[in-house]
Structure 1
Amino acid sequence: MNKGKHLIIADDFTGANDTGVQLKKNGFQTEVMLFPTGDTIDHAIVLDTESRTIPATAAFEKVATLTSKIMEQNQFDLVYKKVDSTIRGNIAEEIHAVADKYQPDLIVVAPALPTAGRTTVNGVQMLNGKPLMQTDIANDPLNPLWTDDIVKMLKKEFGSEVALAKTDTNDLSPRSSKVLVFDAITDEDLTVIAKFAQSLKKRILYVGSAGLAGALFQKSRIAKPSLAVVGSISETSLKQMAYAVDAGTAIITVQINDMLKPDRKALITKYQAMVRSKLKEGKNTVLTVTRRKEDYQKTIDAFKKMGTVDRSEISRIVRENLAAIASGIVKNESISGLFLTGGDTAIEMIRSLNASGSEIQSEIMPGVVLSKLVGGVASGLRIVTKAGAFGSEDTLFQSLKILNEEG
C-alpha cells in the first residue's frame, strides 16, 4: 500500500469520502479524519471540516484552525481543497483559509465532475448543460448560490489575482495570476489540467471535486517495486530468472565466498544495501545464490572445502541467509510484494517475518498463488509463491508485474 502523504480538506463527510476513495483506488493508504490531533502522520489524510453550511466567517476560522493544526507536525506532498461540484458552500473563504496556511505559489481550481454532468464553461459552473443559476441547486435551502461564475466568486477573496484558463484552446501557458480557474467538460480535460499543473514544479494548492482528484492521484501514483527471493535451483527457475533479467529486472547474486565468511552480520548488511539500491531505483529485484547451474556446483564444492558435505545442511544455510537478507528489506523498505520460489525458501521467509501463515487470494497462473501474509511484522503483505519447477519462462517477470500493478 502506497503511503504518500497527501492532504485533502473537505467541507462535509460525503465529499471527504468520495474524494478520498480516489486515493484508495490508486493504492494510497487513506484515512478520513474529523478531529486532527497534531500528531505526525505517515499516510494520506482526508480532513472533514464540516463547514459547508455554517456562516462564511465561521467557516474561514474553522478551516484555518484545523488546517493549521494538521500542518503543525506534517509536511504534505500534495494539498487538495475539495469543493462541491455544484459549488455550494463557503468555497472562496475556505480556499483562502487553506492558502493562508499552506502558502502555495499557485492555486489551481477545477471543480468539474463530467461523469455527473457538472462542467465548467467560460468559468461558469454548469449542470447538464445549464448554468447553475438556472437550476434548482441555486435555491438550495442550506447552500443557496449567489453566482455560478467561479472567477467572480473567487475575486471576492483574491481580487485581481484570479484568471480563467481554457483547456479547449490549449490556453495553458504559465502566467502571473496566482489563482487559475480552469474550464473542463470531459475527464480528459481534467487529466490535461493535472499534467499541466504538475509539470510546473511549483507549490500548488489544488481545488476541485472528486473529478480532478481522480486525475491527479492516478498521475501521482508510482508503482513500488517488488522483491523476488529465488532459492530453487531447477532449470525452470534459472530460465525464469534469465528471462526477467533480460526484461529489465535487477538481480543480486549472493557470492558464495561471502557466505563462507564468519561475519554473518557483514554479509547481511552488504547484500541488503545492494538490494536496497536497486529497489530505490524503482527496479523489481531478484535475490538469489544460484543464477546458473554451475553456481550450484560451486556452492557445493566451496562448502565441502569448509567441511560441510551434507547437501540438506548446505541448503539450510543458503536459505537462512537469503531469508535474513530479504526479511530486513521487507521490514524497512516499501515494496509492492514478495515473490518466493521453492517451498523451503518460502517457509524460511515466513518464519523470518514472524508470520503465522498466509491467506490465499487467487491463482494468478497455473500453480502460481497470490496470498497475503497473516501476522508478524509484514502482515497483509502480498506474496506470490510457486514450486521451483512450475511455470513458463515469463512466470517470474509476470508475477512481479502483477504485484506492481496491485500494490
Structure 2
Amino acid sequence: MKLGCIGDDFTGSSDLASMLAKNGMRVIQFSGVPEGEAPSDVDAGVVALKTRTMPVDEAVRCSLEALDWLKAQGCEQFFFKYCSTFDSTPQGNIGPVTEALMDRLGAENAIVCPAFPATGRTVYQGHLFVHDKLLSQSGMEHHPLTPMSDPDIRRWLALQSTRAVGHVSMSAVTAGPEAIAAAIRSETAGGRPLVVIDATSDADLRAIGAAARGMPLVTGGSGVAMGLPAGLLGAGALHSVAGDWRGEDGPAALIAGSASTMTRAQIRRWSETNPALEITADAVMDGSATPDKAARAAIDSSSPLLLYSSADPETVKAAQDRYGREIIAARLEAFFAETARLLVAGGIRRLVTAGGETSGAVVEGLGLTALRIGPEITPGVPAVAAEGRPLVLALKSGNFGDEDFFENALTTLEGRP
C-alpha cells in the first residue's frame, strides 16, 4: 500500500476512494480501523471514520489510530479527507486532527485544499465558493450540524488551530508545480505551516498533487487527490477499474437523510414518478415510525422505494428545538441503520443512501468492514461492492449529484453503463 487515507465520514471516504480509483489506483475503503493486514493488491487504503462532528479529543484519537494502522501497511504518503465544503465549526476538529497527524508523522507542513471543481467547489484568494456563491451564501450556512458562516478557509481554520495558517495564491498555482512547491516552502519558513491553496480547475489540482510529491501529509477534499496516484505509482503502473465491475441486478431500495438542497431536489425528482415514503422526526421520536415498518414497505414495494427524512431547514430546526440537535440526529441514524439491516436481510441487493451521517450509519448497521471501489456514478460518488457479500451500494454526500442521481445510481449498481 502506497497511500494511506483517513476520511472523516463514510461518503467523503467513498468520494476520495472513487477519485483515486478513477486516477489509476486499486482501492479498498475500510469501515473503521481494520484488524489485521490489508490485501496485498491494494495501492491505496481509505479508512472511513465518523469523526466529522466528534469532539476534538475523540476525533484526534480515532484519526491517530487510523494513521498508525496505515503506517504499519507501509504507506509512503498520507491524506486526511474532509468535506469539500469544509464542514466544521469554530470549535471543530479539522485543525486539531491535521496538527495531530503532522506531529505523529514529523511533518513540517500540510496542504489544505478543499476544492473540488467538478462539483462546483473552488478556492480563490483563500475563500471557498460553491458554484458562483460564497460558501456562506450557498445553503451551507443552514447545515444542521456544521453551519458554515464564513467562506474564508484561512480564518475558519485559524480558529481551530494552534499553528499559523498560510496561503498559496492562484498566481503561484497557475505557474505550475515547482512554483507551488516553492510557495509552500516559503509559507512554512515564514511560520505558517498550514497552507491553504487556491484551486479553480482540475489542472490546478493536478499541479498541486505534483507539488505534493514527497510531502508526508496532504489534506482536503477528494479533488486534490487526483494528482497523487501518478506520483506514487508512476504512469506505467496505473490501473483501470471499469472492466472489473459486475454489479447486482436484485431488488433495490433508497434511503435519504440529508437535509441538503440537492438531496431535497433529488427526492422531489424521484417522487414525481417513483414511490417514496417520508419518515418524519416526530414519527421516529414518538415510535409511530419503526425500522420494521419502513423496511417492510420497501421490500413489499413493486419498484424501488425511497425512504427519506430530509426536510427544509425550518422543519429541521423546529425538530432540533423540540428534541435537541444531537438526540434527533442519533435517533434518525439508529433508525436508518436498523432499517438497512432489515432491508438486506429481506433480500435487497442494491442500496442507495444520501447524506454523510446517514450513509455512515447504514454501513455501520450492515456491519460492512471493507468495500471494493467500482465505477463512478457522478463526480465524488462511486459504486461500491461489499467484500464477500452479494450487495452493492452508492453512498452519497448530501449535495453531490444532479437531480437524476437516484435513477442513475440504480442503473450503475445493476452493472449497466
TM-score between both structures, scaled by the size of structure 1? 0.49
